[in-house]
Amino acid sequence: MHRIDKTVPIEETIGAMSDLVSEGKIRNIGICEASLDTIEKANKVHPLTAVSDR
């Protein structure tokens, strides 16, 4: 995920991406340009594989 949509809770977005992992459509989840709070919330829903500040 390259840009965080501030109108959608990160838990909802990562939850949908987690479903894609379960379905075998993607292997990993990573996010970019997120605050520490957002990263922590996302990681509680599904373990993040990558985090980037750019």
- Determine, yes or no, domain membership for 36: yes
Q: Which domain holds residue 42?
A: 10-52
Distance between CA atoms of 34 and 14, rounded to whole angstroms? 13
**Tally of structural domains, the chain:** 1
State the DSSP code for 5.
-
- Are 49 and 29 a contacting pair, CB within 8 Å? yes
pTM for the structure as a whole = 0.90
- Determine, yes or no, domain membership for 15: yes
Distance between CA atoms of 27 and 35, rounded to whole angstroms? 23
Q: What is the mean pLDDT of residues 12-37?
A: 96
pLDDT digits (tens, 9 = 90+) for 35-50: 999 999 999 999 999 9
Share of the chain above pLDDT 70, in %: 98
Confidence tier at 53 by pLDDT (50, 70, 90): confident
- Determine, yes or no, domain membership for 41: yes
| Amino acid residing at 35 | S
